[in-house]
Structure 1
Amino acid sequence: MTEETPQPGPAAPGAVVTLRQVSVRRYTTDQVILDDIDWTVRPGEHWALLGANGAGKTTLLRLLGALMHPTTGAVEVLGSRLGRVDVRELRARIGHVTSAQRVPQDLDAHTVVLTGHTGTVQPLWRMYDEQVRQRAHELLGELDIKELADRPYGVCSGGQRARILIARALMAEPALLLLDEPFNALDLPSREDLVEAMHRLAEGRPRLATVTVTHHLEELSPAVSHALLLREGRVLTQGPVDEALTGTWLTACFGRPIAVNRHEGRWWAYSGRQGS
Protein backbone atom coordinates (compact mmCIF):
# COMPACT_ATOMS: atom_id res chain seq x y z
CA MET A 1 0.00 0.00 0.00
CA THR A 2 1.17 3.50 -0.74
CA GLU A 3 0.95 6.16 1.93
CA GLU A 4 -1.62 8.83 1.11
CA THR A 5 -0.65 12.48 1.29
CA PRO A 6 -2.60 14.14 4.11
CA GLN A 7 -5.14 16.63 2.86
CA PRO A 8 -5.37 20.16 4.32
CA GLY A 9 -8.26 20.69 6.72
CA PRO A 10 -11.03 23.26 6.25
CA ALA A 11 -10.32 26.99 6.20
CA ALA A 12 -11.12 29.08 9.27
CA PRO A 13 -14.64 30.57 8.90
CA GLY A 14 -14.58 34.29 8.12
CA ALA A 15 -10.79 34.42 7.83
CA VAL A 16 -9.08 36.88 5.50
CA VAL A 17 -6.24 34.44 4.85
CA THR A 18 -5.85 30.74 5.64
CA LEU A 19 -2.73 28.71 4.83
CA ARG A 20 -2.86 24.97 5.51
CA GLN A 21 0.17 22.69 5.19
CA VAL A 22 1.67 25.07 2.62
CA SER A 23 5.06 24.37 1.11
CA VAL A 24 6.94 26.00 -1.74
CA ARG A 25 9.85 24.36 -3.56
CA ARG A 26 12.05 25.75 -6.30
CA TYR A 27 11.58 23.30 -9.17
CA THR A 28 15.03 23.83 -10.71
CA THR A 29 16.96 22.96 -7.54
CA ASP A 30 14.28 21.30 -5.37
CA GLN A 31 15.18 23.84 -2.70
CA VAL A 32 12.55 24.19 0.04
CA ILE A 33 11.55 27.87 0.33
CA LEU A 34 8.58 27.39 2.68
CA ASP A 35 7.83 24.23 4.60
CA ASP A 36 4.51 23.14 6.12
CA ILE A 37 3.09 26.60 6.90
CA ASP A 38 -0.19 26.88 8.80
CA TRP A 39 -1.41 30.44 9.34
CA THR A 40 -4.70 32.30 9.70
CA VAL A 41 -5.23 36.06 9.45
CA ARG A 42 -8.60 37.38 10.60
CA PRO A 43 -10.36 40.70 9.96
CA GLY A 44 -8.92 43.55 12.00
CA GLU A 45 -5.66 41.75 12.79
CA HIS A 46 -2.35 43.48 12.10
CA TRP A 47 0.55 41.10 11.65
CA ALA A 48 4.29 41.68 11.63
CA LEU A 49 6.25 39.17 9.53
CA LEU A 50 9.87 38.86 10.64
CA GLY A 51 12.84 36.68 9.83
CA ALA A 52 16.41 36.81 8.61
CA ASN A 53 17.19 37.39 4.94
CA GLY A 54 16.32 34.24 3.01
CA ALA A 55 13.82 33.02 5.61
CA GLY A 56 10.95 33.05 3.08
CA LYS A 57 9.16 36.29 3.97
CA THR A 58 8.85 37.59 0.41
CA THR A 59 7.61 34.22 -0.88
CA LEU A 60 5.00 34.08 1.89
CA LEU A 61 3.82 37.59 1.05
CA ARG A 62 3.57 36.65 -2.64
CA LEU A 63 1.26 33.78 -1.71
CA LEU A 64 -0.96 36.14 0.28
CA GLY A 65 -1.02 38.54 -2.66
CA ALA A 66 -2.08 35.78 -5.10
CA LEU A 67 1.12 36.38 -7.06
CA MET A 68 2.15 32.71 -6.95
CA HIS A 69 0.79 29.30 -6.02
CA PRO A 70 2.08 26.87 -3.40
CA THR A 71 3.78 23.65 -4.41
CA THR A 72 1.65 21.76 -1.90
CA GLY A 73 -1.07 22.70 0.57
CA ALA A 74 -3.95 25.16 0.37
CA VAL A 75 -3.98 28.95 0.32
CA GLU A 76 -7.31 30.73 0.70
CA VAL A 77 -7.43 34.51 0.40
CA LEU A 78 -10.66 36.47 0.90
CA GLY A 79 -12.66 33.27 0.68
CA SER A 80 -11.11 32.07 -2.59
CA ARG A 81 -8.67 29.20 -2.93
CA LEU A 82 -5.65 29.72 -5.15
CA GLY A 83 -5.89 27.41 -8.14
CA ARG A 84 -9.69 27.64 -8.23
CA VAL A 85 -10.15 31.37 -8.83
CA ASP A 86 -9.23 34.00 -11.39
CA VAL A 87 -6.25 35.53 -9.61
CA ARG A 88 -6.59 38.77 -11.58
CA GLU A 89 -9.94 39.43 -9.94
CA LEU A 90 -8.60 38.38 -6.55
CA ARG A 91 -5.55 40.64 -6.77
CA ALA A 92 -7.84 43.60 -7.39
CA ARG A 93 -9.23 43.09 -3.87
CA ILE A 94 -5.81 43.01 -2.18
CA GLY A 95 -3.75 46.10 -1.42
CA HIS A 96 -0.03 45.53 -2.03
CA VAL A 97 2.62 48.14 -1.19
CA THR A 98 6.31 47.81 -1.93
CA SER A 99 9.06 50.38 -2.32
CA ALA A 100 9.98 48.62 -5.58
CA GLN A 101 6.61 49.58 -7.12
CA ARG A 102 6.95 51.17 -10.54
CA VAL A 103 5.48 54.68 -10.49
CA PRO A 104 6.03 57.36 -13.18
CA GLN A 105 8.04 60.04 -11.43
CA ASP A 106 6.26 62.94 -13.12
CA LEU A 107 2.76 62.00 -11.94
CA ASP A 108 1.43 64.11 -9.08
CA ALA A 109 0.42 62.37 -5.86
CA HIS A 110 -3.32 62.66 -6.54
CA THR A 111 -2.92 60.97 -9.93
CA VAL A 112 -0.78 58.19 -8.44
CA VAL A 113 -3.58 57.47 -5.98
CA LEU A 114 -6.14 57.55 -8.80
CA THR A 115 -4.29 54.75 -10.62
CA GLY A 116 -5.14 52.49 -7.71
CA HIS A 117 -8.75 52.55 -8.91
CA THR A 118 -7.79 50.85 -12.16
CA GLY A 119 -4.71 48.97 -10.94
CA THR A 120 -2.61 50.49 -13.70
CA VAL A 121 0.76 52.23 -13.80
CA GLN A 122 -0.43 55.02 -16.10
CA PRO A 123 -3.72 56.85 -15.45
CA LEU A 124 -6.84 55.86 -17.42
CA TRP A 125 -8.60 59.22 -17.29
CA ARG A 126 -11.93 58.02 -18.69
CA MET A 127 -12.31 55.72 -15.69
CA TYR A 128 -12.10 58.45 -13.07
CA ASP A 129 -15.37 60.27 -12.47
CA GLU A 130 -15.78 63.02 -9.89
CA GLN A 131 -16.60 60.54 -7.13
CA VAL A 132 -13.40 58.59 -7.77
CA ARG A 133 -11.32 61.78 -7.85
CA GLN A 134 -12.85 62.93 -4.57
CA ARG A 135 -12.10 59.57 -2.99
CA ALA A 136 -8.43 59.93 -3.95
CA HIS A 137 -8.35 63.33 -2.20
CA GLU A 138 -9.98 61.81 0.89
CA LEU A 139 -7.37 59.06 1.05
CA LEU A 140 -4.56 61.60 0.82
CA GLY A 141 -6.21 63.32 3.79
CA GLU A 142 -6.55 60.04 5.68
CA LEU A 143 -2.80 59.47 5.29
CA ASP A 144 -2.17 63.10 6.32
CA ILE A 145 -0.58 64.12 3.01
CA LYS A 146 -3.33 66.08 1.31
CA GLU A 147 -0.88 68.96 0.76
CA LEU A 148 1.03 66.69 -1.64
CA ALA A 149 -1.88 66.33 -4.08
CA ASP A 150 -0.22 68.41 -6.80
CA ARG A 151 3.38 67.51 -6.03
CA PRO A 152 5.24 65.24 -8.49
CA TYR A 153 5.86 61.81 -7.00
CA GLY A 154 9.52 61.98 -8.01
CA VAL A 155 10.29 64.92 -5.71
CA CYS A 156 8.49 63.49 -2.66
CA SER A 157 10.51 62.10 0.23
CA GLY A 158 10.70 58.38 0.90
CA GLY A 159 8.19 58.61 3.72
CA GLN A 160 5.79 60.65 1.62
CA ARG A 161 6.06 58.14 -1.23
CA ALA A 162 5.25 55.29 1.14
CA ARG A 163 2.07 57.02 2.30
CA ILE A 164 1.10 57.88 -1.28
CA LEU A 165 1.43 54.20 -2.22
CA ILE A 166 -0.67 53.14 0.77
CA ALA A 167 -3.37 55.61 -0.26
CA ARG A 168 -3.18 54.18 -3.79
CA ALA A 169 -3.59 50.62 -2.45
CA LEU A 170 -6.65 51.68 -0.47
CA MET A 171 -8.49 52.94 -3.57
CA ALA A 172 -9.80 49.41 -4.15
CA GLU A 173 -11.19 49.21 -0.58
CA PRO A 174 -9.18 46.06 0.14
CA ALA A 175 -9.91 43.79 3.07
CA LEU A 176 -6.21 42.86 3.14
CA LEU A 177 -3.25 45.24 2.93
CA LEU A 178 0.24 43.80 2.39
CA LEU A 179 3.26 45.98 3.10
CA ASP A 180 6.65 44.73 1.95
CA GLU A 181 9.30 46.65 3.91
CA PRO A 182 7.51 50.01 3.61
CA PHE A 183 10.08 51.64 5.91
CA ASN A 184 13.02 50.77 3.68
CA ALA A 185 15.64 53.57 3.68
CA LEU A 186 13.46 56.04 5.64
CA ASP A 187 15.06 58.52 8.02
CA LEU A 188 13.81 58.82 11.59
CA PRO A 189 11.18 61.57 11.05
CA SER A 190 9.81 59.81 7.96
CA ARG A 191 9.66 56.52 9.82
CA GLU A 192 7.73 58.06 12.69
CA ASP A 193 5.29 59.78 10.31
CA LEU A 194 4.59 56.43 8.65
CA VAL A 195 4.21 54.63 12.00
CA GLU A 196 1.65 57.24 13.08
CA ALA A 197 -0.16 56.94 9.74
CA MET A 198 -0.40 53.16 10.08
CA HIS A 199 -1.73 53.51 13.61
CA ARG A 200 -4.47 55.95 12.50
CA LEU A 201 -5.32 53.70 9.57
CA ALA A 202 -5.86 50.73 11.87
CA GLU A 203 -8.04 52.77 14.22
CA GLY A 204 -10.15 54.16 11.38
CA ARG A 205 -10.63 50.83 9.56
CA PRO A 206 -11.46 48.23 12.21
CA ARG A 207 -12.06 45.40 9.68
CA LEU A 208 -8.90 45.91 7.63
CA ALA A 209 -6.24 43.22 8.07
CA THR A 210 -2.59 44.06 7.42
CA VAL A 211 0.63 42.09 7.10
CA THR A 212 3.88 44.06 7.29
CA VAL A 213 7.29 42.63 6.44
CA THR A 214 9.98 44.36 8.45
CA HIS A 215 13.46 43.79 9.88
CA HIS A 216 13.12 46.23 12.77
CA LEU A 217 10.73 46.15 15.72
CA GLU A 218 11.03 49.94 15.97
CA GLU A 219 8.99 50.17 12.77
CA LEU A 220 5.93 48.51 14.29
CA SER A 221 2.99 50.73 15.20
CA PRO A 222 1.09 50.19 18.46
CA ALA A 223 -1.72 48.77 16.30
CA VAL A 224 0.29 45.64 15.43
CA SER A 225 -1.49 42.83 17.22
CA HIS A 226 0.22 39.64 16.04
CA ALA A 227 3.58 38.45 14.76
CA LEU A 228 4.87 35.49 12.76
CA LEU A 229 8.57 34.62 12.91
CA LEU A 230 10.12 32.61 10.09
CA ARG A 231 13.39 30.71 10.22
CA GLU A 232 14.69 28.82 7.18
CA GLY A 233 11.25 28.56 5.64
CA ARG A 234 9.44 27.26 8.71
CA VAL A 235 7.23 29.00 11.25
CA LEU A 236 9.23 29.40 14.43
CA THR A 237 6.37 30.96 16.36
CA GLN A 238 3.21 32.96 15.73
CA GLY A 239 0.54 34.61 17.81
CA PRO A 240 -0.19 37.79 19.79
CA VAL A 241 2.78 40.17 19.87
CA ASP A 242 3.24 39.87 23.62
CA GLU A 243 3.83 36.14 23.19
CA ALA A 244 5.76 36.13 19.90
CA LEU A 245 8.02 39.19 20.17
CA THR A 246 10.15 38.08 23.10
CA GLY A 247 13.90 38.00 23.46
CA THR A 248 13.81 34.21 23.55
CA TRP A 249 11.93 33.87 20.27
CA LEU A 250 13.88 36.61 18.46
CA THR A 251 17.16 35.09 19.62
CA ALA A 252 16.06 31.77 18.15
CA CYS A 253 14.87 33.49 14.97
CA PHE A 254 18.02 35.48 14.21
CA GLY A 255 20.61 33.22 15.81
CA ARG A 256 22.16 35.70 18.21
CA PRO A 257 21.23 37.07 21.65
CA ILE A 258 18.52 39.72 21.31
CA ALA A 259 16.91 41.74 24.08
CA VAL A 260 13.44 43.18 23.54
CA ASN A 261 11.73 46.11 25.25
CA ARG A 262 8.33 47.76 24.89
CA HIS A 263 7.14 51.16 26.06
CA GLU A 264 3.77 52.82 25.38
CA GLY A 265 3.01 50.33 22.64
CA ARG A 266 6.32 50.75 20.78
CA TRP A 267 9.01 48.11 20.51
CA TRP A 268 12.76 48.13 20.24
CA ALA A 269 15.36 45.39 20.16
CA TYR A 270 19.11 45.23 20.40
CA SER A 271 21.80 42.57 20.41
CA GLY A 272 24.67 42.49 22.86
CA ARG A 273 28.00 40.83 22.27
CA GLN A 274 27.72 37.11 21.78
CA GLY A 275 29.20 35.23 24.66
CA SER A 276 29.35 38.33 26.90
Structure 2
Amino acid sequence: MTESTTESSTETASTTATGTGTAAIEITDVTVRRGPKTLVEDFSVTVPTGTHWAVLGPNGAGKSTMLKMAGGRLYPTTGSVRILGETIGRTDVRELQKRIGYVDPKQRLDDLPATELVLSGVSASNGLIQRFDYTDAHRARTAELLALVGMDTRADRTWRQMSQGEKARTLIARALVTDPEMLLLDEPSTGLDLPGRETLLRVVDDLRAALPGLTTVLITHHVEEVAASTTDVLMVKDGRVMASGPVAEQMTAENLGTLYDMDVQLQRVAGRWFAFSG
Protein backbone atom coordinates (compact mmCIF):
# COMPACT_ATOMS: atom_id res chain seq x y z
CA MET A 1 0.00 0.00 0.00
CA THR A 2 1.62 3.22 -1.14
CA GLU A 3 0.87 6.90 -1.07
CA SER A 4 2.08 9.82 -3.15
CA THR A 5 1.27 13.50 -3.02
CA THR A 6 1.22 16.16 -5.71
CA GLU A 7 0.15 19.48 -4.22
CA SER A 8 -0.91 22.38 -6.39
CA SER A 9 -0.91 26.10 -5.75
CA THR A 10 -4.61 26.00 -6.59
CA GLU A 11 -5.48 23.79 -3.62
CA THR A 12 -8.78 25.09 -2.33
CA ALA A 13 -8.97 23.97 1.27
CA SER A 14 -7.09 22.91 4.34
CA THR A 15 -7.64 19.43 5.80
CA THR A 16 -7.31 20.66 9.37
CA ALA A 17 -10.53 20.44 11.35
CA THR A 18 -12.04 23.84 12.01
CA GLY A 19 -14.75 23.01 14.52
CA THR A 20 -15.82 25.31 17.29
CA GLY A 21 -15.30 22.72 20.01
CA THR A 22 -19.03 22.07 20.45
CA ALA A 23 -20.60 18.97 18.90
CA ALA A 24 -23.18 19.02 16.14
CA ILE A 25 -23.45 15.21 16.25
CA GLU A 26 -22.68 12.88 19.17
CA ILE A 27 -23.35 9.21 18.54
CA THR A 28 -22.24 7.16 21.55
CA ASP A 29 -22.11 3.37 21.87
CA VAL A 30 -25.03 2.95 19.48
CA THR A 31 -26.45 -0.31 18.19
CA VAL A 32 -29.30 -0.37 15.67
CA ARG A 33 -31.22 -3.61 15.09
CA ARG A 34 -34.11 -4.18 12.74
CA GLY A 35 -35.59 -7.60 13.37
CA PRO A 36 -32.76 -10.15 13.38
CA LYS A 37 -30.42 -7.81 11.47
CA THR A 38 -27.86 -5.57 13.18
CA LEU A 39 -27.25 -2.44 11.07
CA VAL A 40 -24.57 -0.83 13.27
CA GLU A 41 -23.01 -1.97 16.53
CA ASP A 42 -20.97 -0.19 19.24
CA PHE A 43 -20.94 2.85 16.95
CA SER A 44 -19.47 6.10 18.27
CA VAL A 45 -18.50 9.30 16.49
CA THR A 46 -18.45 13.00 17.39
CA VAL A 47 -18.77 15.67 14.69
CA PRO A 48 -17.75 19.14 15.95
CA THR A 49 -19.80 22.12 14.82
CA GLY A 50 -18.45 23.73 11.67
CA THR A 51 -16.51 20.71 10.42
CA HIS A 52 -16.99 19.02 7.04
CA TRP A 53 -17.01 15.23 7.02
CA ALA A 54 -16.86 12.53 4.37
CA VAL A 55 -18.20 9.08 5.27
CA LEU A 56 -16.61 6.20 3.37
CA GLY A 57 -17.32 2.49 3.35
CA PRO A 58 -18.48 -0.49 1.28
CA ASN A 59 -22.12 -1.17 0.42
CA GLY A 60 -24.11 -2.17 3.49
CA ALA A 61 -21.46 -0.92 5.91
CA GLY A 62 -23.90 1.28 7.86
CA LYS A 63 -23.19 4.71 6.34
CA SER A 64 -26.81 5.61 5.57
CA THR A 65 -27.92 4.28 8.96
CA MET A 66 -25.47 6.70 10.59
CA LEU A 67 -26.73 9.60 8.46
CA LYS A 68 -30.37 8.85 9.24
CA MET A 69 -29.58 8.93 12.95
CA ALA A 70 -27.74 12.22 12.47
CA GLY A 71 -30.83 13.60 10.73
CA GLY A 72 -33.23 12.50 13.46
CA ARG A 73 -34.82 10.01 11.06
CA LEU A 74 -33.89 6.80 12.83
CA TYR A 75 -33.78 5.89 16.53
CA PRO A 76 -31.02 3.74 18.03
CA THR A 77 -31.87 0.42 19.65
CA THR A 78 -29.30 1.08 22.37
CA GLY A 79 -26.89 3.93 23.02
CA SER A 80 -27.24 7.70 22.81
CA VAL A 81 -27.65 10.12 19.89
CA ARG A 82 -27.40 13.88 20.47
CA ILE A 83 -27.99 16.20 17.52
CA LEU A 84 -27.46 19.96 17.73
CA GLY A 85 -27.65 19.73 21.51
CA GLU A 86 -30.86 17.66 21.55
CA THR A 87 -31.08 14.02 22.64
CA ILE A 88 -33.01 11.74 20.30
CA GLY A 89 -35.91 10.23 22.24
CA ARG A 90 -36.18 13.27 24.50
CA THR A 91 -36.97 15.98 21.97
CA ASP A 92 -39.51 16.80 19.27
CA VAL A 93 -37.74 15.44 16.18
CA ARG A 94 -40.09 17.37 13.89
CA GLU A 95 -38.72 20.61 15.30
CA LEU A 96 -35.16 19.28 15.27
CA GLN A 97 -35.41 18.30 11.59
CA LYS A 98 -36.20 21.91 10.72
CA ARG A 99 -32.64 22.73 11.77
CA ILE A 100 -31.16 20.08 9.45
CA GLY A 101 -30.89 20.09 5.67
CA TYR A 102 -31.11 16.53 4.26
CA VAL A 103 -30.25 15.67 0.66
CA ASP A 104 -31.26 12.28 -0.75
CA PRO A 105 -30.64 12.02 -4.53
CA LYS A 106 -33.36 9.37 -4.74
CA GLN A 107 -35.96 11.98 -3.77
CA ARG A 108 -38.38 12.86 -6.56
CA LEU A 109 -40.06 16.24 -6.77
CA ASP A 110 -43.02 17.52 -8.75
CA ASP A 111 -42.38 18.67 -12.31
CA LEU A 112 -42.00 22.35 -11.40
CA PRO A 113 -39.33 24.98 -12.19
CA ALA A 114 -36.20 24.99 -10.04
CA THR A 115 -37.19 28.29 -8.42
CA GLU A 116 -40.47 26.84 -7.15
CA LEU A 117 -38.86 23.59 -6.05
CA VAL A 118 -36.24 25.38 -3.96
CA LEU A 119 -38.82 27.76 -2.50
CA SER A 120 -41.06 24.81 -1.61
CA GLY A 121 -38.40 23.73 0.87
CA VAL A 122 -39.61 26.54 3.13
CA SER A 123 -42.95 24.76 3.54
CA ALA A 124 -41.42 21.25 3.32
CA SER A 125 -43.70 20.44 0.41
CA ASN A 126 -43.07 19.19 -3.14
CA GLY A 127 -44.84 22.20 -4.63
CA LEU A 128 -45.82 25.68 -3.57
CA ILE A 129 -48.73 25.80 -1.11
CA GLN A 130 -51.00 28.69 -1.99
CA ARG A 131 -52.02 29.43 1.58
CA PHE A 132 -48.42 29.45 2.82
CA ASP A 133 -46.77 32.83 3.41
CA TYR A 134 -43.66 32.78 1.21
CA THR A 135 -42.02 36.09 2.02
CA ASP A 136 -39.81 38.35 -0.08
CA ALA A 137 -36.93 37.19 2.12
CA HIS A 138 -37.67 33.56 1.21
CA ARG A 139 -37.69 34.42 -2.50
CA ALA A 140 -34.46 36.40 -2.19
CA ARG A 141 -32.81 33.50 -0.38
CA THR A 142 -34.01 31.13 -3.10
CA ALA A 143 -32.36 33.29 -5.75
CA GLU A 144 -29.11 33.45 -3.75
CA LEU A 145 -28.98 29.68 -3.35
CA LEU A 146 -29.76 29.00 -7.00
CA ALA A 147 -26.78 31.19 -7.85
CA LEU A 148 -24.59 29.44 -5.26
CA VAL A 149 -25.28 26.00 -6.73
CA GLY A 150 -24.98 27.22 -10.32
CA MET A 151 -28.67 26.89 -11.17
CA ASP A 152 -29.48 30.60 -11.56
CA THR A 153 -29.34 30.38 -15.38
CA ARG A 154 -31.53 27.27 -15.23
CA ALA A 155 -34.07 28.53 -12.73
CA ASP A 156 -36.96 27.98 -15.15
CA ARG A 157 -35.96 24.41 -15.93
CA THR A 158 -38.49 21.87 -14.63
CA TRP A 159 -37.64 18.70 -12.73
CA ARG A 160 -38.13 16.45 -15.77
CA GLN A 161 -35.98 18.71 -17.91
CA MET A 162 -33.06 18.66 -15.48
CA SER A 163 -30.00 16.45 -15.77
CA GLN A 164 -29.14 14.26 -12.79
CA GLY A 165 -26.51 16.78 -11.72
CA GLU A 166 -28.95 19.68 -11.95
CA LYS A 167 -31.43 17.74 -9.83
CA ALA A 168 -28.74 17.12 -7.19
CA ARG A 169 -27.83 20.81 -7.07
CA THR A 170 -31.49 21.82 -6.88
CA LEU A 171 -31.99 19.45 -3.95
CA ILE A 172 -28.99 21.00 -2.17
CA ALA A 173 -30.37 24.52 -2.65
CA ARG A 174 -33.78 23.34 -1.44
CA ALA A 175 -32.23 21.80 1.68
CA LEU A 176 -30.48 25.09 2.47
CA VAL A 177 -33.39 27.47 1.90
CA THR A 178 -34.40 27.41 5.58
CA ASP A 179 -30.81 28.22 6.65
CA PRO A 180 -30.23 24.97 8.58
CA GLU A 181 -27.39 24.52 11.04
CA MET A 182 -26.30 21.24 9.46
CA LEU A 183 -26.38 19.75 5.93
CA LEU A 184 -26.42 15.97 5.41
CA LEU A 185 -25.81 14.58 1.91
CA ASP A 186 -26.48 10.89 1.20
CA GLU A 187 -24.37 9.97 -1.85
CA PRO A 188 -25.21 13.15 -3.81
CA SER A 189 -22.94 12.09 -6.71
CA THR A 190 -25.01 8.98 -7.47
CA GLY A 191 -25.56 8.60 -11.22
CA LEU A 192 -23.43 11.59 -12.23
CA ASP A 193 -20.99 11.63 -15.13
CA LEU A 194 -17.56 13.25 -14.78
CA PRO A 195 -18.67 16.85 -15.54
CA GLY A 196 -21.66 16.44 -13.24
CA ARG A 197 -19.52 15.06 -10.42
CA GLU A 198 -16.89 17.78 -10.71
CA THR A 199 -19.54 20.52 -10.81
CA LEU A 200 -21.22 19.08 -7.73
CA LEU A 201 -17.96 18.88 -5.78
CA ARG A 202 -17.16 22.47 -6.70
CA VAL A 203 -20.60 23.47 -5.41
CA VAL A 204 -19.92 21.62 -2.14
CA ASP A 205 -16.63 23.51 -1.75
CA ASP A 206 -18.32 26.83 -2.59
CA LEU A 207 -21.21 26.43 -0.16
CA ARG A 208 -18.87 25.41 2.66
CA ALA A 209 -16.88 28.59 2.06
CA ALA A 210 -20.00 30.76 1.69
CA LEU A 211 -21.78 29.42 4.79
CA PRO A 212 -19.30 29.57 7.68
CA GLY A 213 -20.46 27.63 10.70
CA LEU A 214 -22.50 25.15 8.67
CA THR A 215 -21.69 21.56 9.61
CA THR A 216 -21.72 19.16 6.65
CA VAL A 217 -21.59 15.37 6.34
CA LEU A 218 -21.35 13.74 2.89
CA ILE A 219 -21.61 10.01 2.26
CA THR A 220 -19.81 8.48 -0.70
CA HIS A 221 -18.45 5.12 -1.86
CA HIS A 222 -15.57 6.71 -3.75
CA VAL A 223 -12.43 8.45 -2.55
CA GLU A 224 -12.55 10.60 -5.70
CA GLU A 225 -15.83 12.11 -4.50
CA VAL A 226 -14.36 13.51 -1.28
CA ALA A 227 -14.39 17.29 -1.77
CA ALA A 228 -11.20 19.31 -1.21
CA SER A 229 -12.91 21.28 1.58
CA THR A 230 -13.39 18.14 3.69
CA THR A 231 -11.87 18.44 7.17
CA ASP A 232 -12.55 14.97 8.60
CA VAL A 233 -13.31 11.46 7.45
CA LEU A 234 -15.30 8.60 8.97
CA MET A 235 -14.62 5.09 7.68
CA VAL A 236 -17.37 2.53 8.37
CA LYS A 237 -17.02 -1.23 7.91
CA ASP A 238 -19.36 -4.05 8.93
CA GLY A 239 -21.53 -1.67 10.96
CA ARG A 240 -18.66 -0.35 13.04
CA VAL A 241 -16.40 2.70 13.03
CA MET A 242 -13.08 1.63 11.55
CA ALA A 243 -11.40 5.05 11.63
CA SER A 244 -12.37 8.67 12.18
CA GLY A 245 -10.71 12.05 12.52
CA PRO A 246 -8.84 14.69 10.49
CA VAL A 247 -8.74 13.67 6.85
CA ALA A 248 -4.99 14.36 6.54
CA GLU A 249 -4.36 11.76 9.25
CA GLN A 250 -6.95 9.11 8.44
CA MET A 251 -7.02 9.12 4.64
CA THR A 252 -4.18 6.67 4.17
CA ALA A 253 -3.54 3.77 1.81
CA GLU A 254 -3.35 1.45 4.81
CA ASN A 255 -6.76 2.51 6.15
CA LEU A 256 -8.39 2.33 2.73
CA GLY A 257 -6.86 -1.10 2.13
CA THR A 258 -8.36 -2.35 5.38
CA LEU A 259 -11.69 -0.68 4.62
CA TYR A 260 -12.08 -2.27 1.19
CA ASP A 261 -10.06 -5.49 1.71
CA MET A 262 -7.59 -4.81 -1.06
CA ASP A 263 -4.16 -3.36 -1.73
CA VAL A 264 -4.51 0.38 -2.38
CA GLN A 265 -2.31 3.05 -3.87
CA LEU A 266 -3.36 6.56 -2.86
CA GLN A 267 -2.51 9.87 -4.48
CA ARG A 268 -3.44 13.39 -3.43
CA VAL A 269 -3.64 16.10 -6.06
CA ALA A 270 -4.76 19.70 -5.43
CA GLY A 271 -6.51 18.74 -2.21
CA ARG A 272 -8.33 15.74 -3.73
CA TRP A 273 -7.65 12.02 -3.23
CA PHE A 274 -7.45 9.30 -5.86
CA ALA A 275 -7.25 5.59 -5.02
CA PHE A 276 -6.06 2.76 -7.25
CA SER A 277 -5.71 -0.99 -6.92
CA GLY A 278 -2.25 -1.93 -5.71
TM-score after normalising by structure 1: 0.91
Residues 142-167 of structure 1 show CA distances to partners (whole Å, capped at 9, x for unaligned) of 11210111111211111111111100
Q: Secondary structure at the match of 2:61?
A: coil
1:198 aligns with 2:204: yes
Asked whether the 8 Å contact 1:66–1:90 carries over to 2, the reply is yes
Q: Distance in 1 between matches of 2:30 and 2:173?
A: 31
Q: Distance in 1 between matches of 2:32 and 2:230?
A: 27
Q: Distance in 2 between matches of 1:185 and 1:270?
A: 21
User: What percentage of aligned pairs have identical amino acids?
Assistant: 42
Structure 1 residue ranges without an equivalent (≥5): 1-11
1:223 aligns with 2:229: yes
1:82 aligns with 2:88: yes
- Tell me what 2:12 maps to: none
- Tell me what 2:4 maps to: none
**Which of structure 1's runs of 4+ aligned residues deviate more than 4 A?**
none
- Tell me what 2:120 maps to: 115
Residues 224-267 of structure 1 show CA distances to partners (whole Å, capped at 9, x for unaligned) of 11001011011111011111111100111111111111011011
Residues 151-192 of structure 1 show CA distances to partners (whole Å, capped at 9, x for unaligned) of 112111111111111000001111111100100010111111
1:134 aligns with 2:143: no
| Alignment-mate amino acid for residue 136 of structure 1 | T
Q: Distance in 2 between matches of 1:220 and 1:13?
A: 23
Q: Distance in 2 between matches of 1:59 and 1:148?
A: 34
Cα RMSD (Å) of the superposition? 1.3
Q: Secondary structure at the match of 1:47?
A: strand
Q: Distance in 1 between matches of 2:22 and 2:241?
A: 23
- Tell me what 1:7 maps to: none
Q: Secondary structure at the match of 2:23?
A: coil
- The partner residue of 2:48 within 42, 53, 58 is 42
How far did residue 127 of structure 1 move? 2.3
Larger RCO (CA within 8 A; separation ≥ 6): 2
Asked whether the 8 Å contact 1:92–1:119 carries over to 2, the reply is no
1:245-264 to 2 correspondences below 5 Å: 245-264=251-270
1:55-66 to 2 correspondences below 5 Å: 55-66=61-72
Asked whether the 8 Å contact 1:103–1:121 carries over to 2, the reply is yes
Residues 45-95 of structure 1 show CA distances to partners (whole Å, capped at 9, x for unaligned) of 111101111111111111001011001111000110000011111111110
The number of equivalent residue pairs is: 258
How far did residue 129 of structure 1 move? 2.1
| Alignment-mate amino acid for residue 115 of structure 1 | S
How far did residue 13 of structure 1 move? 6.6
| Alignment-mate amino acid for residue 58 of structure 2 | A
| Alignment-mate amino acid for residue 14 of structure 1 | T
How far did residue 14 of structure 1 move? 2.4
Q: Secondary structure at the match of 1:37?
A: strand
- Tell me what 2:175 maps to: 169
Q: Secondary structure at the match of 1:207?
A: coil
Q: Secondary structure at the match of 1:211?
A: strand
Q: Secondary structure at the match of 1:116?
A: helix
- Tell me what 2:22 maps to: 14
Which deviates further from its counterpart, 31-40 or 76-85? 31-40
Q: Secondary structure at the match of 2:275?
A: strand
How far did residue 219 of structure 1 move? 1.2
